[in-house]
A and B are shown apart, each in its own frame.
Chain A
């Protein structure tokens, strides 16, 4: 039985608060973007889709990165029982991140781009992000000290930090003509880096959640067990080699596609494990259901199962040609970023920022927001899959009607997607509000 101190310096908490503000910005821009699907041409003169989409995507991506950083910094202190090597370095990193994210969002609003999908801002703004990340790496390595055999979550944090840096740098290889002069080469390297990047931030988040579960249960056997390390290495191999499933239709090397097809299928092992452990996780959930963090982890568990089923299907090339380029891919992304990453990061935020033992009124309010967010997300996810199926039918039909006519025909489903998006955002905002209140009380 281990007990961790719940004391962490303010640096990690401010990372989480910054992340939560970015999540709210991301949700608002997501809703504005969904409106443009239902009413084509809306805000065309001021806030057209090429501005709204990066505002939405980058805010959400930074919510994930910044709050995962906050989670790692706080839990490193909990784990070691010491303060960070340098809280000043962490504050400097946060200041750098806040300034660069501010300039990035302003550049989008002003219609100044220059980068590529997901990192559309002028490439020069990535320099402070790289510097900030290097500070994070230094702070992490010196704080942990690596003197003894470390549990699996320390490995996950280290892998996530190092490979995020590598894949982020790799995603900028396009600035060299050698990589960018041919679209096939350019896109191969682009999706190689993006695939690993997502895997890297997932390592940071899952590491935090494993630590959180250990902290709640007081049982540190799992994080040092052979099973946990086997799953970690499986995740690492997927992070490094499965990115090819994004580019099955690109005329790139065949071996890239074959390797990623084989590696992606190894996720079936993770799926089997989730199903095998389902009963025991439900029993534990019943015992710990009073904890907001644990409830959020359980929601994420369900989303992991749903998304893994979708991801495994999409990783089969013969199925991928139907789903690729359709909203089924969007459903997978939304399920992963909201259902898994956001739920897990909110679980971490509740643990770090809040007193988890709520009053009856607080517990009821939490439950209402929790169910609104999750049920809306499920309907949102299903509507995206339905839209994707309709688009796939159109893509594969021999006599294609014009694109604009096809889009008009699926507008009713976009309306459902918008309504569900709105209610989901309301649910999520009500989950976030207590975190701000709690932080204000502490101050």
Chain B
């Protein structure tokens, strides 16, 4: 009886279309689960940080900088620059640019918005790879 059933399952899976449908079903279930239970808890919208994020995209800061190690490689990772360097340091760089970074002629409001966005990013977690513990099974933890 059991053998019969397992044979039927194997036969069902060996049909390519069935296997395809099962994989796609699993993928969309996984996707909708992630959409519904997003990894971080939503907080009330911070409008200043949101406009900072928009500016971040409009000036394409990610071309040179990284957040959580993702982005460009010409400039440093900025995930935790708010707590490491402080808002005044960030503001001064945003106002004048550097030898490599152009002066984007940001207004005071725009500078504040980007700093607030970087503050939000900083609050989300730590990106420093030195803070991770390597486990024997190849995984990492904090």
B39 touches A251 (CB 8 A): yes
A249 touches B59 (CB 8 A): no
Selected contact of A184 from candidates B30, B40, B75, CB within 8 Å = B40
Whether, in the assembled complex, A433 has its beta carbon less than 8 Å from a beta carbon of chain B, the answer is no
With A187-B70, A317-B139 in contact, do A113 and B124 touch (Cβ < 8 Å)?
A: no
A236 touches B23 (CB 8 A): yes
Whether, in the assembled complex, B110 has its beta carbon less than 8 Å from a beta carbon of chain A, the answer is no
The interface bits of chain A over 396-412 (1 if a CB of B lies within 8 angstroms of the residue's CB, else 0) are 10100001000000000
Among A303-354, those with CB < 8 Å from B are: 316-322, 324-327, 330
Q: From A44, which residue of chain B is reached at the shortest CB distance?
A: B102
With A178-B42, A322-B129 in contact, do A188 and B57 touch (Cβ < 8 Å)?
A: no
B135 shortest CB reach to chain A, Å: 7
A50 touches B66 (CB 8 A): no
With A183-B124, A233-B23, A330-B73 in contact, do A257 and B39 touch (Cβ < 8 Å)?
A: no
B129 touches A396 (CB 8 A): yes
Alpha-carbon gap, A277 to B98, bound state (A): 53
Count of CB-CB pairs between chains A and B under 8 Å? 164
Query: Which of A78-86, A114-122, A206-214 is the interface stretch?
Result: A114-122
With A185-B39, A185-B40 in contact, do A36 and B74 touch (Cβ < 8 Å)?
A: yes
Alpha-carbon gap, A330 to B67, bound state (A): 16
B127 shortest CB reach to chain A, Å: 6
> Inside 8 A of B125's CB, which chain A residues have their CB?
184, 250-251
Most chain A beta-carbon neighbours within 10 Å: one of B50, B68, B72, B121 = B68
**Range of interface residues on A (Cβ < 8 Å):** 35 or more
The interface bits of chain A over 214-255 (1 if a CB of B lies within 8 angstroms of the residue's CB, else 0) are 000000000000000100010011001100001111111100
A113 touches B60 (CB 8 A): yes
Whether, in the assembled complex, A54 has its beta carbon less than 8 Å from a beta carbon of chain B, the answer is yes
> Inside 8 A of B68's CB, which chain A residues have their CB?
187, 247, 249-250
A113 touches B45 (CB 8 A): no
With A240-B23, A249-B68 in contact, do A321 and B134 touch (Cβ < 8 Å)?
A: yes
A257 touches B71 (CB 8 A): no
Whether, in the assembled complex, A48 has its beta carbon less than 8 Å from a beta carbon of chain B, the answer is yes
> Inside 8 A of A180's CB, which chain B residues have their CB?
50, 53
B124 shortest CB reach to chain A, Å: 5
The interface bits of chain B over 42-66 (1 if a CB of A lies within 8 angstroms of the residue's CB, else 0) are 1101100010011001111111101
Contact sample, A vs B, 7 pairs, CB 8 Å cutoff: A40-B99, A181-B43, A188-B39, A189-B34, A233-B19, A240-B27, A249-B127
